Amino acid sequence: MPARILVYSATAGYRHDSIEASIEALRAKASSVDIDFDFTEDNSLFTDDHLAKYDAVVFLDNSGKVLDDAGKVALQNYLNLGGNFVGIHCAADALRDTPFFGKQIGAYFDYHPPLQESVVEVVDNTHPSTAGLPARWKLLDEMYNFQSDPRAVGAQVLLTADESSYSGKPRVSRWFDHGTPHPIGKLSLPWYQECGAGVQQECVAGRSWYTGLGHTIEIWSDELFLGHVLGGITWVLASKTTRAFNKEGKVGNPPTEV
């Protein structure tokens, strides 16, 4: 039985014109990674019963308050039961009023320089989401800066932006210390959490993976980028906290009985 993933792309603020392209790209790649993707922008589907069907939830380019209070509770419950989480690009600008979501995604978006060709450098090439990338990867995308250091909630950074490769002066924030060795403003890219920090104490924590990349329509037809995203998605599923991979899981797509 394939893993089953809910991809949620609702927006309540800025809406990326690449959302439709990203949905089509994931749909086209589903069979190659043995995943069933369900795509929705219906926040009423965030209930305990509905989320219990999924091995992971992907927040795709969301912005603003895209869940009501009941939906937030259902998402928290899902994560507490071992559900896995993926955030892509603008998802870091969603649910800013929801502390557990901020921890689960790792950090909230702060700002970005103008869209331009930039270079990112691989920090860890052993992770499935970076294993296929060149050591220095040139691409056209936004280099996100964040309001906090994702390492503060236990995240491990996978890529960093080469700040000398693009223009746009860093904005000085009065809210946080950017961290070292690179300013966190330049750690604009993917990270992962082996145990998602948004899970409440004494609960089962699935995995979390986030990438700040994915702004343009064109990048969603780039095989390097798609390998990056699919590597992150397949990595969270390997937590084995859900039913597609663990018969004792509390959420997820159960394997077919033989």
What is the secondary structure of 49-67 as a DSSP string?
HHHTT-SEEEEES-EE--S
d(CA 200, CA 77) in angstroms, rounded, equals 9
Predicted pLDDT of residue 188: 58
**Token duo for residue 21:** 């392209």
pLDDT tens digit string along 126-152? 999 999 999 999 999 988 888 988 999
Q: How far is CA 164 from CA 51, 120, 136, 158, 173, in A?
A: 43, 10, 13, 19, 20
Q: Is 171 exposed, middle or buried (0-12, 13-18, 19+ CB in 10 A)?
A: exposed
d(CA 40, CA 98) in angstroms, rounded, equals 21
Predicted pLDDT of residue 256: 64
Q: What percent of the chain has pLDDT over 70?
A: 91
pLDDT tens digit string along 83-127? 999 999 999 999 999 999 999 999 999 888 888 898 999 999 999
pLDDT tens digit string along 162-220? 887 878 755 544 334 444 444 444 455 799 999 999 999 999 999 999 999 999 999 99
Report the helix count and the strand count for the chain, using DSSP H and E. Answer: 5, 14
**Residue 74 DSSP SS3:** helix
Domains and CATH numbers, the chain: 3-237 (3.40.50.880)
Task: Output the average pLDDT for the chain.
Answer: 91
Output the pTM of the full model.
0.93
Rounded to the nearest 10 degrees, how much is the dihedral formed by the CA atoms of 236, 242, 248, 253? -140
Rounded to the nearest 10 degrees, how much is the dihedral formed by the CA atoms of 91, 95, 100, 104? 0
